[in-house]
Structure 1
């Protein structure tokens, strides 16, 4: 389950890191939530 979600989670994390704002922040949080 975690392995399947690893790719979208990493993409969300990278998007949140390289972009500043509310939506990228939410994407970063969602990526962390999926990863953990």
Structure 2
């Protein structure tokens, strides 16, 4: 894997994590998995 590809993949993963965090923070609390 080239460095740029690695950085691009990391950037996408980070964006996904940020999106997940935002979605979890704005969604109503749930007690199921």
What interval of TM-score do these two structures reach, taking the shorter chain for normalisation?
0.3 to 0.5
Structure number with greater Rg is 2
So what's the TM-score if we normalise by structure 2?
0.47
Query: Greater relative contact order (Cα 8 A, min sep 6): structure 1 or 2?
Result: 1
So what's the TM-score if we normalise by structure 1?
0.44
